[in-house]
């Protein structure tokens, strides 16, 4: 079973992502409401992939991503940015970080797991 960590400060986004991935793909979903909590959960649980919000109070998404990439325990875990920033300049900035993929809010809960699988090249999901 795939294990996904969603890091987002919005409660409803975490709830929708969790139910969507559990109901449509049967994945286990871990949640964290901040970058710091996300790093702690990722370190303890070693998820198969991380969905990471960009704009969060405190440690934002890019800072969280860079921190994880500097940690040998976490550097191999694919990270997908989940953002409502749709302007091209923002997308270029996010791509230059080295994230695996960028998905946009609002997303369709029914197809989110498929989008994630395609982004990560998971053929068996």
Partner 1 sequence: MTSQEQIDALLAELWERNRPLLEERLTVLDRAVVEVNAGALNEATRIEALDITHKLAGTLGIFGSQRGTELAREMEKILGQAEVSALAHLPGLVADLRETLKSRLSP
Q: Minimum Å distance from CB 107 to partner 1?
A: 7
Q: Cβ distance 21 to 27 under 8 Å?
A: yes
Q: Cβ distance 121 to 100 under 8 Å?
A: no
What is the rounded CA–CA span in Å between residue 2 and residue 40?
19
Q: Minimum Å distance from CB 62 to partner 1?
A: 15
Q: Minimum Å distance from CB 105 to partner 1?
A: 3
Picking from 125, 122, 116, the residue whose alpha carbon sits closest to that of residue 5 is 116
Shorter beta-carbon distance to partner 1: residue 69 or 105 = 105
Shorter beta-carbon distance to partner 1: residue 37 or 90 = 90
Q: Minimum Å distance from CB 20 to partner 1?
A: 6
Q: Does 10 bind partner 1 (CB under 8 A)?
A: yes
Q: How many residues bind partner 1 (CB under 8 A)?
A: 20
What is the rounded CA–CA span in Å between residue 50 and residue 87?
23
What is the rounded CA–CA span in Å between residue 46 and residue 74?
7
In the complex, the residues that contact partner 1 under the rule CB under 8 A are: 10, 12-13, 15-16, 19-20, 23-24, 55, 83-87, 105-107, 109-110
């Amino acid at each position: 079973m795939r294990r996904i960590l969603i890091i987002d400060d919005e409660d409803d986004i975490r709830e929708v992502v969790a139910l969507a991935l559990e109901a449509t793909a049967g994945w286990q979903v871990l949640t964290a409401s901040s970058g710091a909590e996300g790093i702690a959960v990722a370190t303890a649980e070693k998820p198969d992939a991380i969905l990471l919000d960009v704009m969060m109070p405190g440690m934002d998404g890019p800072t969280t991503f860079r921190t994880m990439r500097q940690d040998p325990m976490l550097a191999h875990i694919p990270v997908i940015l989940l953002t409502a920033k749709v302007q091209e300049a923002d997308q270029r900035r996010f791509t230059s970080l080295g994230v695996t993929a960028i998905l946009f809010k609002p997303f369709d809960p029914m197809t989110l797991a498929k989008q994630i699988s395609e982004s990560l090249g998971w053929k068996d999901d």
